[in-house]
Amino acid sequence: MNQPGRQSTTAQAVIELKDIRKSFGDLEVLKGISLHARPGDVIALIGSSGSGKSTLLRCANLLEIPVSGEIVFNGESVKWKEHRKGRAPADQSQVRRMRTNLSMVFQQFNLWAHLSILENITKAPVSVLGVDPAEAQTLAMQLLDKVGIADKADRYPAQLSGGQQQRAAIARALAMQPQAMLFDEPTSALDPELEAEVVQVIKQLANEGSTMIIVTHDMKLAYELSNQVIFLHDGVIVEQGSPDEVLLNTKSERLKSFLQSTGKFGG
């Protein structure tokens, strides 16, 4: 479902990152990264381990604080204040509001083990958004049906396969009715059969026009799903463009080498 025409060139970006830099001690992990995701965009972040992909995603959701650069959500820039470690968000209510609208799906599911799948999905809408519990439960069941595990609502995470747990995590993220979704290697912990289950759900979301930024090791997924691919290496963007431009008409030797190592698109 390669859709290079999905992107709206006029709509305001849901999320925009401008010249993001991040260091851990003396190690500079991100060296001035900029991107923007407009409504309906699906952006695939690819690159080898240590290239900065997951760190960039965590900066977008303020799980990591960049040392410099600007994070803009729906035209609203994050406010900063001085901090002993450099800087910190100045307005925690702003951070909560932005995070509420940027749901993140992690590699390791991060479900609450002591809650049923249904409770995992209803907890945040009720406690954070103030949704009526009955309404939250109705929505949760609709979402579980959407991801194909409505029959697992009363089970606990340990009773589900990895693919089912990841689909539950996606349903939990959707329950917040976010304006964009961030996926950090959503299939890398799964074997191929279970991976296919999760990919199908993500493809459905893309078909419905969800705005997504996906860190992935799966080049086929990146090609079929995204309208923009960004290749990171050593904390910088080496190539970016449509899937055809980046994956089929590769310019840099570094990306050619990376694609050959994955066994996809690299010849």
Q: How far apart are CA 120 and CA 105, in angstroms?
A: 13
Summarised one tens digit per residue, pLDDT across range 163-210 is 999 999 999 999 999 999 999 998 887 888 888 888 889 999 998 999
- Which is it for strands 212-215 and 42-46: parallel, antiparallel or unpaired? parallel
Average pLDDT over residues 150-171: 94
pLDDT tens-digit map of 90-139: 999 999 999 889 999 988 888 999 999 999 999 999 999 999 999 999 99
Give me the phi and psi of 228, to 5 degrees please: -150, 130
pLDDT at 154 over 60: yes
User: Dihedral (C-alpha) 77, 67, 102, 193: value to the nearest 10 degrees?
Assistant: 150
- Residue 264, pLDDT above cutoff 80: no
Total-model pTM: 0.91
Which residue segments constitute the domains of the chain, with CATH numbers given? Answer: 1-101+179-267 (3.40.50.300), 114-177 (no CATH)
pLDDT band at 31 (very low <50, low <70, confident <90, very high): very high
Percent of the chain clearing pLDDT 70 (strictly above) = 96
pLDDT at 177: 92
In this prediction, residue 1 carries a pLDDT of 46
∠ Cα 161 137 111 (to 5°)? 35
Q: Tell me: the pLDDT tens digits for 197-245?
A: 888 899 999 989 999 999 998 898 999 999 999 999 999 999 999 999 9
What is the predicted pLDDT for the residue at 89?
Answer: 94
Residue 224, classed as helix, strand or coil, is helix
The separation between CA 54 and the C-alpha centre of its own chain, rounded to angstroms, equals 9
Tell me the CA distances in angstroms from 5 to 41, 147, 222, 248, one per residue in order: 9, 26, 15, 17
